[in-house]
Amino acid sequence: MPDGESGPLRERYLDIEARLERSAAGNGGADRDALKAEIIALYKQVEQEITQLTALREDIKKLVDRWKQLQPASKASNAPAFTGERPVVADHIGASTFIEKGWSLISLGDYEGAERALTKALELSPNDPQTESLLGWAQMLQEKYDDALLNFQKVLMRQPTNSLARINLGYICLKKRIFGEAIEHLSKAIRLENDRKATLYAHFYLGLVYAEREMYEDAQTFFRKTLALGPNLIEAYYELGRALWFDGKKDDALQAWRDGLSANKFNPWGKRCGEMLKHIEEGGTPSRAS
């Protein structure tokens, strides 16, 4: 709790601590049973405060999700969605505090704050793959692709079967237009078949790679597979529509965008599908720049 909120509880703690010291020195004549009752009462109150603050923290995360729904369609990103579970860490000279803080800040969308916390964690506990992976996420989501690439490479040196790190590397290579390496990482993530989310995104990013190379039939295959694996990945509808349009299948493209809009009209990518349909109806055409 911040000092302003925990101050009275800290004052009670210090008062009890001082009375215990006087009692131990034989100067206070304090009643042991009374002190015990006060310690238990203080502990229970702190536990109650923690429970309430934990619930509030989870409610704040819901606000973040609602805020994301208000994002304009132009801000939609196809970076991997961060849904990692809370890290389980052994404390290394206080590093665990910074690791958990970094994880929480990524979940809340404060990527700069997460990067600072995770950098501190690595100073306290160097070469930890979990921390390096989280730091890579924070940097990737800030589009610091070179820094993120180095951290994910470190993770894969120690954990070659870490599929999430591998698809993140594939995404970074895609953004840097290193298509050969992107295909290598993404294809390997699919072959590993040890993480459902990684498999889903590997198919999606392979679709993007082939679309960038104007190999639209291959792109369509991967986007359709993506939607079979994860119908809620709305960006796949949007990109499938683009691949179909540039392959000359305009009616199918319109249907893909209609499907994306109807799947979730509040999602930023659902909104983009709707905007694309309106743009086409007004006589426009899709831009080749995604």
Residue 139 has pLDDT above 90, yes or no: yes
Q: How far does Cα 258 stand from its chain's mean position?
A: 28
d(CA 183, CA 189): 10
Instruction: State the pTM of this model.
Output: 0.74
What is the predicted pLDDT for the residue at 41?
A: 85
CA distance 45 to 194: 44
Note the pLDDT tens digit of each residue in 191-206. 999 999 999 999 999 9
- Over range 137-162, report the average pLDDT: 95
pLDDT in tens, 122-134: 999 899 999 999 9
Q: Identify the sign of the CA torsion 156, 162, 163, 164.
A: negative
Predicted pLDDT of residue 33: 79
Angle between helices 268-281 and 250-263 (to 10 degrees): 140
Closest CA to 142 of 178, 104, 167, 115: 115
Question: Mean of the per-residue pLDDT values for the chain?
Answer: 87
pLDDT digits (tens, 9 = 90+) for 15-46: 888 888 877 776 555 577 788 888 888 888 88
Candidates 80, 148, 89, 88; CA nearest to 114 is 148
Q: pLDDT tens-digit profile of 72-88? A: 655 567 777 765 555 55
Half-sphere exposure of residue 271: CA atoms within 13 angstroms, side-chain side: 13
- The pLDDT value given to residue 30: 52
